[in-house]
Amino acid sequence: MTKLMLYGATGYTGRLIAAAAKVAGTPLILAGRSQAPLAQFATELGLDYRVFGLDDATAIDAALAYVDVIINAAGPFMRTASALMQAAIRSHVHYIDVAAELDSYQLAETLDEQAKAAGVMLMPGGGGSVAMLGSLAAHAVARVTGASRIRTVLHVRGGMSRGSAISATENVTTGTLVVENGQLVSLSTGAIQQFDFGHGPVDSFAVTLPDLITIGRSTGVADIETFVHVTGGGFPQGDLAALPDGPTEDERLANRYQAAIEVTAADGQIVRSRLDTVNGYSFAAMAAAEAGRRALGGAVRPGFQTPVEVFGGDFALSIGDTTIVDL
C-alpha cells in the first residue's frame, strides 16, 4: 500500500495535519526525532511511526522506505527542508511542506532540475498562504486580459503558534522584497497600502511572503507585491519558548482569515477579489493533508510546483468553507 509520511507529527501544525489525514482515511506514518511523544501520539491515532533525525542521510533514506509522499511540518524549515528535500529526491518520494519561509522556495528552485530528473515533486507551501493566495490570484487573474501587476494581502487574525513565532524570529529580514520585471528586488522603504476586507479600508504593511515566488510561477505576472494586516495580539514578546503550542480550537473558530487581491491589466483595468476562510492554522493543516492525499493518488508533477499548478486554481475552495467574491 502506498503511504504518506508526516514528519514533525507531534508539533502543533503536525497534530492538526495528522488529524485531518486520519479523518480522510489517508494511509499515514507519523515521523519525527523524539521517540516518546511520537509513540504516544501514534497510539492515540492507531498509526505506525518512525523515529529519525535529519543529521544522518543514510538514516533518513532508510526511514523513507515504502513511503511515496512526505509532508514536512517540522519548522523552522531552514533547519529541515534541505535534508528532507534532498532525501526525497534520492528516494524518489514526493515532498510537501507548510513553510512560510522564502528560503524553502528558493531551495526548491535550486533543486528543480534534480527533482525533475528523479521524477519527484517538490511542493513547499502545500498549505498556508501559498495555497490560499495562489487560488485567489488564479481567480482574479482570469478576470482580465494580460495581467501585468498583482498586489495581494493576507489578513492574519488571532494568536501565533510557538513554532511560528520562533520560525519568524529566526527568519527576520532587514528589507522587504517585491517582484519587479520577474525579479526579486528590495524596497527602499517600507510600504503601507490600504485594502478592504469587507469593513472598510485598513492599513496593511508590505512583507516578504513566499507568494512572491509561487504566484509568479503560477500566473506569469512579472510585478507582484505582498502585504499583511494583523488583527489581535500581533507578534508575541518575551520568551517565545514559553508560549503555548498554539491557538485553541475555540480561538481558531473565532478568528477566520481573509485575503484580498488587486490585479492590474495591461490596459489599466483593475479588478479586486476577496477570499474568506477558516483560521490560518486550520486551513494550513487541512490543505496540506488534502495535498498529500491527492499526491498519494497520483496528482503529481516532477520538479518545483505550487498547489495551483498541480491541483488547479480552485484548490483553496475545496478546503473548509472557503469562498471568493469579486468586488
pLDDT for 239 equals 60
pLDDT for 241 equals 60
pLDDT for 30 equals 98
pLDDT for 174 equals 53
pLDDT for 118 equals 98
| Nearest alpha-carbon partner for 214 in 77, 101, 95 | 101
| Nearest alpha-carbon partner for 94 in 84, 102, 104 | 84
Yes or no: say if 104 and 210 are a contact pair by the CB < 8 Å rule.
yes
CA distance 118 to 123: 15
Partners of 85 in beta bridges:
none
pLDDT tens digits for range 306-318: 999 999 999 999 9
Handedness of CA 163, 284, 17, 117 (dihedral sign): negative
pLDDT for 314 equals 96
- Helix (H) or strand (E) holding 182, with range, is none
pLDDT for 245 equals 74
Which stretches of the chain drop beneath a pLDDT of 50?
Answer: none
pLDDT for 165 equals 54
pLDDT for 237 equals 55
Q: Domains, the chain, ranges and CATH?
A: 4-126+284-312 (3.40.50.720), 129-279+316-326 (3.30.360)
User: Residue 190's CB: how many other CB atoms inside 10 A?
Assistant: 10
pTM, rounded to two decimals? 0.93
CA distance 170 to 151: 26
Edge-first strand order for the sheet with 121-123 is 48-51, 28-32, 4-7, 69-72, 94-97, 121-123, 303-304
